[in-house]
Chains A and B, each alone.
Chain A
Amino acid sequence: MNMVRMPSRGLWAALLALGAGLTGMAHADSAADNAIIVASTTSTQDSGLFEYLLPIFERRSGITVHVVAQGTGQALDTARRGDADVVFVHARDAELKFLAEGESLRRYPVMYNDFVLVGPASDPARVRGIKDAAAALRAIRNRGAVFVSRGDRSGTNLEELSLWKTAGVDIDAVRRPWYRSIGQGMGATLNFAAATGGYTLSDRATWLNFGNKGELRILVEGDRRLRNQYGVMLVNPQKHPNVHKARGQAFIDYLVSPEGQRDIASYRINGQQLFYPDAGSDE
């Protein structure tokens, strides 16, 4: 009896209000005017490098850099979707694949740091001081000691997986609970390792910057295989016309320039250098 027709006018007015409101908010973001989006990794962000480097670049160029930190795999996918202008990660094989797909036209090596194997001070698997990182992982497996993996296709994760392969361990076939793949960033993984007294692979920068070390210590380092190379790429503007080509290239040019490289080298935590610039190298 009380049928009410849809008040289409009211509904349209409301939808317009929604659109207007959101667009208004969008225009209020003046920072979007001269900005680029850089898809990078959580470990790079957690190291604090961007907080150090970006203000220098922004002062120089007037370009605001928005860093979206994800796992390496996710960062590259974000770029594939055209949602980033520049991608700055540390997983050489994945980057070369990205290049081969035509998602970028050129890859620039920028810097490297290294990975460290951290674990509980009590070291149940007796890996402390072992020079061969793959051998250390094998010892952990043999002991059945807890190992925490990032499990998120990040650069760190890919490095860890390649070490297992080198060690001759088929990690995919592992069913025992000593191997915990938690699918999260470096910080969360370190939290987990600290809480469970487990081993994990971390990049040195994040480790140094990490505030909740608990009983964890560096147990294995220095193996050549633990070197972690960073590369930066401009997303291909031919594939994604929305990419801010000039601004993105300006950022890349800064990173590989002598000044940029010097700035990277001068970033320290507790007096310790975290990243070693190697632009133009043939890694």
Chain B
Amino acid sequence: MGAGAGSALHLVLSGDPELFAVVRLSLEISLGATVLAALIGAPLGALIALTRFPGRGFILVLLNALMGLPPVLVGLVVYLTLSRSGPLGALGWLFTPTAMAAAQTVLVLPIIAALTRQHIEDLWSEYRDELLAMNVGRLGRVATLLWDARFSLVTTLLAGFGRAAAEVGAIIIVGGNIQGYTRTMTTAIALETSKGNLALALGLGTVLLVIIVLVNALAWAARRTGERYAT
């Protein structure tokens, strides 16, 4: 681990442009995927929380199960979909960062939807009588719940981001791990490990770890701020 930390420090201090490019790409893809997953997943989760419809129980089970989607499976399915001989091949997204963001969006979406549903449903059971008594309409309910649950939602988003940032299986399949183009921290670690450059791989891993710790610190801060209003 010492060799790894030394490698990492050396990389960062020397301002290695390839390292920064790799870090930047990792963050871009994971951030982009998380934002997109949130735009769809949060309202979807809120909707499921507030609606009664036939088969709802099944949907809940499915949503929770999808949180554990194996990334390589997602990678394979997205790969076959985006392949030129696949249904969306004309988009030309295969082996580009866009495909990687798409695959990660698919992975993160169930997490955000399922956790949002949980938070919103909990808050709704609390707010229900009051909001009904205030005659708040459907859209108003969704908006109010999403806003009042915002700190929980932020921690959900950060959880989604953490999942995306640590992912490697799907993005290596759909991205191709192309040097200088679709190589992220995680795929670079995989590559350097397979080349036997273990110290370098550890170094990259250390940088990744630092980022993930920062993300978790943010999540903790958000939770603390939220508690101010919740208790």
Q: Report Cα–Cα, A4/B51, bound state, in Å.
A: 6
Indicate if the CB atoms of B195 and A83 lie closer than 8 Å: no
Indicate if the CB atoms of B179 and A51 lie closer than 8 Å: yes
A188 within 8 A of B: yes
Indicate if the CB atoms of B95 and A25 lie closer than 8 Å: no
* A20-37 interface code vs B (CB 8 A; 1 in, 0 out): 011101100101100001
B98 within 8 A of A: yes
A267 within 8 A of B: no
Indicate if the CB atoms of B36 and A242 lie closer than 8 Å: no
A96 within 8 A of B: no
Q: A15-B40, A22-B98, A26-B93 are in contact. Are A67 and B178 (CB under 8 A)?
A: yes
B92 contact set on A, CB distance < 8 A: 26, 32, 242
* A64-97 interface code vs B (CB 8 A; 1 in, 0 out): 1011110000000000011100000000000000
**Contact partner, A17, options B39, B47, B83, B97, Cβ 8 Å:** B39
**Contact partner, B181, options A22, A26, A66, A240, Cβ 8 Å:** A66
B176 contact set on A, CB distance < 8 A: 37, 66-69
**Contact partner, A190, options B138, B139, B196, B198, Cβ 8 Å:** B196
**Contact partner, B195, options A7, A11, A29, A209, Cβ 8 Å:** A209
B138 contact set on A, CB distance < 8 A: 4-5, 7
**Contact partner, B39, options A7, A18, A51, A209, Cβ 8 Å:** A18
- List B residues 20-64 near A (Cβ within 8 Å): 32, 35-36, 39-40, 43-44, 47, 50-53
A57 within 8 A of B: no
Indicate if the CB atoms of A29 and B98 lie closer than 8 Å: yes
Q: Report Cα–Cα, A6/B48, bound state, in Å.
A: 10
Q: Report Cα–Cα, A4/B46, bound state, in Å.
A: 11
Q: Report Cα–Cα, A281/B116, bound state, in Å.
A: 64
Indicate if the CB atoms of B195 and A82 lie closer than 8 Å: no
Indicate if the CB atoms of B196 and A213 lie closer than 8 Å: yes
Q: A22-B36, A29-B97 are in contact. Are A82 and B43 (CB under 8 A)?
A: no
Indicate if the CB atoms of A191 and B194 lie closer than 8 Å: yes
Indicate if the CB atoms of A82 and B84 lie closer than 8 Å: yes
Indicate if the CB atoms of A67 and B179 lie closer than 8 Å: yes
Would you give 26 A-B contacts (Cβ < 8 Å), ordered by A?
A3-B51, A3-B52, A3-B53, A4-B50, A7-B139, A11-B43, A11-B44, A18-B40, A22-B93, A22-B98, A25-B101, A29-B98, A32-B92, A51-B179, A68-B177, A69-B176, A69-B177, A83-B89, A185-B194, A191-B194, A211-B197, A212-B197, A212-B198, A213-B196, A242-B89, A242-B92
Q: 4 tightest A-B contacts by CB?
A: A212-B196, A187-B194, A82-B84, A68-B176
